[in-house]
Amino acid sequence: MATYSHSRISLFEQCKYQYKLKYIDKVKVDIKTTIEAFCGDIVHQTLEKLYKDLNYHKLNTCEELLNFYSSLWDEKYTDDIRIVKKEYSAQNYKDRGAKFVCDYYKHYKPFEETRVLGLETQDMLDLSNSSKYHVRIDRLCSDNKGNYYVCDYKTNSRLKTQEEADGDRQLAMYALWVKDRFKDAKSVKLIWYMLAFDREVLSERTEKELDELKKDVERKIETIENCRNFPTSESNLCTWCVYSHLCPLFSHKADLEDKKGLKKYMAQDGLVLTDSLADMLTQKKEIERKIDEVKENLIEFAKQSNADVIYGTDKKAAVKEYEKVVYPSDKEKFIDTLKQKGLYEEFSGINYLKLGSRILKKEIDKDIIEMTKLEKNYRISISKNKN
């Protein structure tokens, strides 16, 4: 049975295609870390050093800690680290991380409120379906009243809300592990140190909530294990996806970029076809607009000439007036009236779009599903190429 982690389950929820590449096909990619991840890692290692040294009764000064941070950054930094937000330099990120460390130090010095039980802990939580859940806690502490603290450092630019903290799966699963390992635990408090804001967000779960969460995670793992279809799902995360060159949504783009310079490859089939389709669709829109305009002029011409047929060189246009039914804007009331008069069944049609979607999701009676069959088809939509 596989080992699961918060990030593994989250990836399945975010993009099943990427999940398959990473965890099932185990595709190896040359992962270039992002500057955000790099900075977060250096800050974590610096705070780990702070507490490691405290364990030996060595309290670093803020300056010593910042020197450690700076040297570690310089030692580990490489030029291939990805900076997606081009308006900021590596130095901007380095300074930002240094401020996190400095603010944290000033806020919590002399760091004696609780006793540290573990730093960057690595362990497994057993789940009932014999799978395991990976537990990695930045810092685990306790006080002398039986309170345990699961501490997580966050370097995000967005402050976690209380609702998000109360609904967070990662640390709550760690709380289950703490309760399992430390039988004297009277409470387990989950704390996110939002370093960019010098603030804490705290959450605590009841036994019942933890029990439900565990069952929910076990159900999710079962869904993952039974999953046979792994579609792509495009989102903002695609910008950071290290598998985008293997993803059907972006592989052609990566292919073009790989060959350095679009110009040379203008004749390449995919690019030409996409450009042609986009061009034709634009022209179609313009022609449709012109057709409407000419039709309106023709109607006006027919009215003024009091003629029903207007002759062109080879063709003629018949302009015929007819009565068109305009339905009330209050559709609900109109439908209700049709129902009351027993006419609804006769005039309502099947919404095949909605029905099709329910059949695909298997959210409808199986007799209906069995009467239909699936075949492959394609839909093309043209949109702006943002990246």
User: Residues in the site for ligand SF4, rule: CB under 6 A?
Assistant: 15, 17-18, 232-234, 237-238, 241, 243-244, 247, 249-250
CB of 117 to ligand SF4, least distance (A): 37
Residue 150 pairs in a beta bridge with: 140, 190
Q: How far is the CB of 157 from ligand SF4 (least distance, A)?
A: 21
Hunting for tokens 């900021």 — which residue is that? 88
How is 269-337 classified by DSSP, letter by letter? HHHHHHHHHHHHHHHHHHHHHHHHHHHHHHHHHHHHHT-SEEE-SS-EEE----------S-HHHHHHH
Alpha-carbon distance 338 to 185, whole Å?
65
| 3-class SS of residue 18 | helix
For the bound state, the minimum distance from the C-beta of residue 190 to ligand SF4, rounded and expressed in Å, comes to 28
142: its two tokens: 């306790």
CA 226 vs. chain centroid, Å, equals 22
Looking at the Cβ atoms of 10 and 372, the one nearer to ligand SF4 is: 10
Which C-beta is closer to ligand SF4: that of 15 or that of 125? 15
Our CB check for ligand SF4 shows the closer of 237 and 343 to be 237
- Residue 140 C-beta-side C-alpha neighbours within 13 Å: 23
Nearest distance in Å: CB 253, ligand SF4: 10
What is the smallest separation between the CB atom of 246 and ligand SF4, expressed in angstroms?
7
Give the C-alpha distances (Å, rounded to integers) separating 86 from 7, 35, 90, 243, 332. Answer: 27, 11, 10, 21, 51
Question: Which residue number, 13 or 288, has a Cβ lying nearer to ligand SF4?
Answer: 13
Closest CB to ligand SF4 among 100 and 250? 250
